[in-house]
Structure 1
Amino acid sequence: MRRVEHHPAAGDKNAMQYWYRLVGPVKASFNFAIIFLCRYLPSLRLKNFLYRKLLGMHIGRDVSVGLMVMLDIFFPHLITIGDNSIIGYNTTILTHEFLVDEYRRGPVEIGKNVLIGANTTVLPGVKIGDGAVVGAASLVNRDIPPGVLAAGTPVKILKEKVKKDVHV
């Protein structure tokens, strides 16, 4: 079960039509500009600094966020990434989702020493435990326990204990 807050749409239109009420357009534009810049920035240290200081994200030491990673533009401060974790190329991490009648918001917690493969989507309200490995092109729609190998769309646990030399 994901940890998300449910909020009904503000009127007769679908929930996305009211996005500007969640976070002001100026803040959303600022967040987007920083995230867009970081998508192409090769410097991991500079990226982590910008994520921490300008977006309020909780980024551990020695985190590596790959090129083209797309983070949530409305609520990036709800993302936590533990020490020494790797977020693979073109991964998307969301802390909100719009539906027709409601929107949902929830934190994403990524533990220490986690590897998330390229082209993965992480949905709001999930926790990925320390030492877990998530295979490329996965849809993380539920919690992942510590130390497991998980992959697929939707994600499934493939192996209970991961060796240190697993490559995804």
Structure 2
Amino acid sequence: MTDNPDVTADNSRSRHDRIRRHPTPGVRNSLAHWTSAKHPLRVALNYLFVWFARISPSLRLRRWCLRRLGVTVEPGVSWGLEATPDVFWPELITMEKHAIVGYDATLLCHEFLQDEYRTGEIVVGERAMIGAGAIVLPGVEIGADASVAANSLVTRDVEPGTTVAGVPARKMGGGSESQSESQSESQSRIRDRNQTECTADQKRTEWGEAGVAGGDNGNGNGSGDAEENEESSNA
């Protein structure tokens, strides 16, 4: 049992616990109802600021545009060229001190599905780094000093100080899974080496026995030949 209902028994962390679900009526998919989710004029204005934030050569201007969108931008944040914040709900993004979002990365705070749309906050921790082309999904928290490799799809929280990569992104070296895999590989190599040594010893033993047997046969034949030669001489 745990006092915190958001923490499961295996201590896993899920973004789905923090996502808000908004059912939509009728048979049409939720994207068809986007004007009910967000006013079109608000989305149009957001898009204008997103466009400037993507193409501006000035880092200061990019930060200013992000703040106008409602993004929480703490001191020292760096926002790369072509990087895209969520157009519908940019106010759900928090960038902590000295965080970096790389070139063409995307931070999505919403998902339009068939029968509902979902929204969730994204938190990029202090000094965390998001690589070029990476995509972060709603509800994800990226811990302090964590790193997301380029072109990764982040579907779950990233622990502080760790590096994730891939689609979906998974923890790289230093994690328990990586250690277990390394231990298994080491044990496998040891077993293979021991088996090879045992096979070699067995072969050497067989060769040695074969040599001894051959020597015995040679000695026997030699004695017989000597005896035959002696009999022939006596005759």
TM-score (norm 1): 0.92
Contact 2:82 2:103 in 1 (8 A): yes
> Which structure: larger Rg?
2
Is 2:49 aligned against 1:34? Answer: yes
- Partner of residue 117, structure 1: 131
Which residue of 120, 137, 143 maps to 1:129?
A: 143
The share of aligned pairs that are identical, in percent, is 41
- Gap change, CA 1:109 and 1:160, over 3 Å in 2: farther
1:107 maps to: 121
What letter matches 2:144 in structure 1? D
123-132 or 6-15: bigger deviation: 6-15
Given candidates 27, 49, 59, the residue that maps to 2:73 is: 59
Gaps of 5+ in 1: 162-168
Partner of 1:45: 60
Distance in 2, Cα, partners of 1:131 & 1:45: 23
Letter matched to residue 30 of structure 1: L
User: Which region of structure 1 is more displaced relative to structure 2, 54-63 or 152-161?
Assistant: 152-161
Q: If each structure's helix is expressed as a fraction of its own residues, which one has the higher value?
A: 2
By relative contact order (CA 8 Å, sep 6+), the higher-ranking structure is 1
Letter matched to residue 153 of structure 1 = V
RMSD: 1.1
1:148 Cα deviation from its structure 2 partner: 0.3
Q: 3-state SS of the aligned residue for 1:71?
A: coil
Which residue type is aligned with residue 139 of structure 1?
L
Q: Are 2:141 and 1:139 equivalent residues in the alignment?
A: no
Does the 8 A contact of 1:149 with 1:160 survive in 2?
no
**Conserved 8 A contact 1:147-1:160:** no
Aligned residues of 2:94 and 2:123 also touching (Cα < 8 A): yes
Amino acid in structure 1 at the alignment position of 2:65: L
Say if 1:150 and 1:159, in contact at 8 Å, map to a contact too: no
SS in 1 for 2:33: helix
Task: Kindly tell me the number of residue pairs found equivalent between the two proteins.
Answer: 160
Segments of 4+ moved more than 4 angstroms? none
Instruction: Please say if residues 52 and 65 of structure 2, whose CA atoms lie closer than 8 Å, have aligned partners that are also in contact.
Output: no
1:70 corresponds to: 84
Which residue pairs with 1:19 in the alignment? 34
Residue 166 of structure 2 corresponds to 152
Separation (CA, whole Å) in 1 of partners of 2:148 and 2:163: 6
SS at match of 2:88: coil
Q: TM-score, normalised by structure 2?
A: 0.66
Contact 1:83 1:111 in 2 (8 A): yes
